[in-house]
Chains A and B, each alone.
Chain A
């Protein structure tokens, strides 16, 4: 692999790497024919991000011939190459990325002003394929806006906030912090409402509500804001990941975040919501298993989704699944309040992470039926099954 990035694109590349560092500790590098893919995933496999830089992004782009090459390295090492973002634009003329497969080294050479040459020889490890499967174009709800809109929305939430809930109706989007039931009386609830005309594109097919981790999203917001690229947001029913993307002619970035699933306890209320047909009993089972992302810790699998993936119908008022929403929801979905309470016990039982994890990567399946190429390593601490006894 041999590629050269020049001028302002060096900073774009650096910013992409910095935003990936907000997701996980390792950077997965895969030079493909359609471009250079840089990916990252968090330890609980509930957040994944991928930047694909088309060959035109580079002033020179050659991939290793004849075989697919994939590697991963500590993202901190790569960040060290592009340490001072502010001065990158002013000092770096071009960046040369070269692969030395014999020595297992990826060399980043920065040609800077005044003839200064900075060479970083980073060691890497071979890695498994890291690719989340998602089909954002099939998602029911699609939005697009200037990053400023989302940045201005997110700024109202404290940096420590873990999860937010986004709910939509035909004309509005609500963003609120997600608070567990038991903390409701002590927590400050913040909710913002955005009108559809604030977006460049606002298409809602089902009035859903999804809860996901905000922290991991901030990396994308910083990237989008600095590049000025509009952010597209796609989501479907709860449990299905929310995808945020930025694209331009030479790059595409996708941040895929798991969402909290609906609780199976709600199943009995299905009859009340008839407008959308309930999804098949075990959504995940119908997908091509082989195409699922390999999570090394899929052994934690039997999560709530094992028995009840997002089976609950997503009626127009699905948001009821959000326990924190209880108070706010009243005015919109009063008939569902009682369901929320039942749900809360289930939802609040386990750490959200666990649910995110098991739902996102379809790890409902026992490890053995996962892609055989993936070694199943030891269990991730986060995904303890023991709490999941309400199922």
Chain B
């Protein structure tokens, strides 16, 4: 593969080099968080974290561990930059994203450091494309201060059942209300739309419910428009964990398996709607 013939000397100048035989393993997971153009990239020796935020109320993170990459070399403890995610995704699929088995785009992502563009070497079938995307000063991602100690309710559901509910959600409803409780209705998604309200109830002993740990009854509402993008992550995932903390903040964690069966995570944090909680 032409990319691997790059000389050792070239690599000296990069603070971050990450290679992947199949660029789809990166692009698919990034598509799950592409609801805004700008993304903050944070690389550590553990791997890559990509963050997208919306109106200071929603944050989505995609984690791709170092092990997923065929090569992951980082010269600093933390390398951060901001790029246009849409442009990055366009580059990753520059060869048209064909689904012919055995044919994939190989990727080598390199970064020289502050002020330098993000360089992508993409190869498919002997053809190499070099893309240089301008980077910006990374903004500080919001710290939602969501810690396990403050988690009041947690469930893990098989994505299959949640996918059905999300695809049917009444979009005329401005909010999605989530009720979690140690007693009936256990786990409930509710919408309040033009024609009436709808409730989707998951019992705690359902086969779809892998884990059910609810300590107190909580009902919180979240803006539908904020949560809508999470359906992309849901579509890719096989399991999802839903947690709320004492403040009513929501954490959705999706377990995604890539083309090669490796596991990556996507998480969404969302603030509850300011409106008074009824019901």
Q: Which residues of B contact A (CB under 8 A)?
A: 161, 164-165, 167-168, 170, 185, 194-203, 205-208
Contacts and interface: CB of A to CB of B under 8 A. Distances in A.
25 contacts: A73-B195, A74-B194, A74-B195, A76-B195, A77-B195, A80-B170, A80-B198, A83-B167, A84-B164, A84-B168, A114-B161, A114-B208, A115-B202, A115-B206, A116-B200, A117-B201, A117-B203, A118-B199, A118-B200, A119-B199, A120-B197, A120-B199, A121-B199, A122-B196, A123-B195
A115 B203 contact: yes
Contacts of B164: 84, 87, 91, 116
A77 B202 contact: no
Instruction: Pick the most buried of B167, B195, B198, B199: most chain A CB atoms within 10 A of its CB.
Output: B195
Given A77-B195, A116-B208, A123-B196, A84 B170 contact: no
Contacts of A117: 185, 199-201, 203
Interface string A74-91: 101100100110010001
Contacts of B206: 114-116
A103 B203 CA distance: 26
B195 to A, nearest CB: 3
A22 interface: no
A77 B197 CA distance: 10
Contacts of B208: 114-116
Contacts of A87: 164
A105 interface: yes
A76 B171 CA distance: 13
Contacts of B195: 73-74, 76-77, 80, 122-123
Nearest to B207: A114
Nearest to B190: A119
Please classify the interface of chain B as helix (H, G, I), strand (E, B), loop, or mixed, using the class held by over half of its residues. mixed
A110 to B, nearest CB: 10
Given A80-B170, A84-B167, A121 B196 contact: yes
Contacts of B205: 115
A105 B170 CA distance: 17
Given A87-B164, A114-B161, A115-B205, 19 more contacts: A77-B195, A83-B167, A105-B196, A115-B202, A115-B206, A116-B200, A116-B203, A116-B206, A116-B208, A117-B201, A117-B203, A118-B198, A118-B199, A118-B200, A119-B199, A119-B200, A120-B199, A121-B199, A122-B195
A120 B168 CA distance: 11
Q: Considering the complex of A and B, which 3 residue pairs feature the smallest CB-CB distances, nearest first? A: A77-B195, A115-B206, A117-B201
Interface of A: 73-74, 76-77, 80, 83-84, 87, 91, 105, 114-123
B203 A121 contact: no
A119 B168 contact: no
A77 B195 CA distance: 6
Contacts of A118: 165, 168, 198-201
Contact of B197 (A74, A114, A121): A121
Nearest to A74: B195
B155 to A, nearest CB: 13
B197 A116 contact: no
A83 B165 CA distance: 11
Instruction: Pick the most buried of B170, B198, B205, B208: most chain A CB atoms within 10 A of its CB.
Output: B198
A117 B187 CA distance: 11
A12 B276 CA distance: 41
Given A83-B168, A84-B168, A87-B164, A119 B198 contact: yes
A200 B108 CA distance: 69
A208 to B, nearest CB: 42
Nearest to A110: B200
A247 to B, nearest CB: 31
A106 to B, nearest CB: 8
Contact of A120 (B194, B198, B203, B207): B198
B180 to A, nearest CB: 15
A59 B164 CA distance: 26
B202 A116 contact: yes
A90 B218 CA distance: 32
B190 to A, nearest CB: 9
B199 to A, nearest CB: 4
A36 to B, nearest CB: 19
A91 B197 CA distance: 21
A120 B195 CA distance: 9
